Chain A
Amino acid sequence: MSAVCLGVPGRIVALTGAPDLRMGTVDFDGVRRPVCLAYTPEAEVGDYVIVHVGFAISQVDEVEAARTLEVLRAIPDALAGELGPEFAQ
């Protein structure tokens, strides 16, 4: 996995009061890393952020995340209709 391009979402589990830089601990599915939160000043413990080379670049909008999934789930499964339920899992 490359360090340069992929940002991953993680959950802020602690704010670590560094004196000159907003830092926190972010949990990525069990792996915890120090992350700079200078660019997500609103993000608090419990929030999800997209982390890229040790910096949170965006806070995940949970409402939008859920809405996108709702839109996708609303698409009819044409294949299941044609081939029967075993393909619909």
Chain B
Amino acid sequence: MKYLDEYRDPVLARRLLSELRATATRPWAIMEVCGGQTHTLVRQGIDELLPAGIRMIHGPGCPVCVTPLATIDAAVAIAARPDVIFTSYGDMLRVPGTAGDLLGVKARGGDVRVVYTPLDAVRIAREHPDRQVVFFAVGFETTAPANAMAVLHAAATGLRNFSVLVSHVLVPPAITAILDAPDNQVQAFLAAGHVCAVMGWTEYEPIARCYGVPVVVTGFEPLDLLEGIVMAVRQLEAGRAAVENQYARAVRRDGNTAAQQAVRRVFRVSERTWRGIGPIPASGLALTAEFAAFDAEARFPAGGTPAVEHPDCIAGRILRGIAVPTDCPAYGTRCTPLSPLGAPMVSTEGTCAAFHHAGRRKPPVEAR
């Protein structure tokens, strides 16, 4: 398939690896922010092919994983209402809340439907004027234009039985939060190519400048990731800290301005809690006053049971990049993709699930 197969060429991958070996003279730690990139790195074993000392730290860029527990709990409560059809991307259904997940609601007879696009949720609302249709609007800047268009479209067509449960997160504030952490080890970032396809990369320029970290906007194919890593290491070795664009075929500096305008009309920047990390100022999106009528949280006020995380789960440390899944006592035993304790084991883009699907095991205990 055009523009996909070419970027999986093993010969070119080997060339990039030898280029990397020739470039790197000392150890470096690079974070790939996006869960989609984590998935490719781990599934293809790219992280294990890198020269000794080049370490990939897996970032918090999995929207499923960072959706706060309280929001999952709200989704579960809303979906359980008899008057509601709850619509969601598939990978949110198995994220554990304090008391069960959306799949459990569905098993108990709740009308929970998986949609591929938010426009499907709008269509379902149009087809069921007697029911309330709620769409679980999660994601980074990449899904925000789609979710904004669903709201705009519902508003334009006068749909009164459609609302969105919004849990949007923004990448640059998360990068800043990671860099501000006292135990930060990240020396360079691969920025998520599709987030930048929407937003461009101007927001990353002050981060690169102020923190002195290279940022390379990177695509998702194996060759993209390898080239992104090479570009980051070249900058690190040269003592440079700039924003570079590896993913030139899909990303321009200013991003997609039409998409940005729609997002700005429907959403405003707000504080957002990240599961496993905590609240980060100005790191999320909430509906603007003009579209407040579409806010599912206002339409279906939640009963207040406090959200409680599973005590065995070390998702927070994994999402901050200071631990890997195999460090977790529950990994692969009490916590698996089939019965996840924490969100990173749910989505294929979660670091724990990526490790598990790739068959990564805990290092064997030394025999005494």
CB within 8 Å of B: which residues of A?
1-9, 11, 20-21, 28-29, 33, 36, 38-41, 48, 50, 52-55, 57-58, 60-62, 64-65, 67-69, 72-73, 75-79, 87-89
Contacts and interface: CB of A to CB of B under 8 A. Distances in A.
B4 A8 contact: yes
Given A2-B91, A53-B116, A39 B3 contact: no
Given A20-B157, A53-B118, A61-B250, A7 B197 contact: yes
B275 to A, nearest CB: 14
Given A4-B89, A5-B62, A52-B194, A57 B10 contact: no
B91 A20 contact: no
Contacts, number: 164
Interface string B129-156: 0000000001110110110010001001
Given A2-B36, A4-B63, A55 B146 contact: yes
Quick one: which of A57, A73, A75, A89 has the most chain B CB within 10 A? Answer: A57
Interface of B (DSSP majority class): helix
Nearest to B248: A64
Contact of A50 (B1, B116, B197): B197
Given A39-B258, A53-B139, 10 more contacts: A3-B91, A7-B194, A29-B4, A36-B149, A55-B117, A57-B256, A58-B198, A72-B9, A78-B15, A88-B11
B124 interface: no
Contact of A53 (B4, B143, B258): B143
Contacts of B312: none
A5 B35 contact: yes
B249 interface: yes
Contacts of A40: 256, 258
A52 B146 contact: yes
B250 A3 contact: no
B22 interface: yes
B251 interface: yes
A39 B116 contact: no
A20 B118 CA distance: 16
B119 interface: yes
B12 A73 contact: yes
B42 interface: no
Contacts of B139: 4-5, 53
A41 B143 contact: no
6 contacts: A6-B220, A29-B4, A36-B117, A48-B2, A52-B194, A54-B117
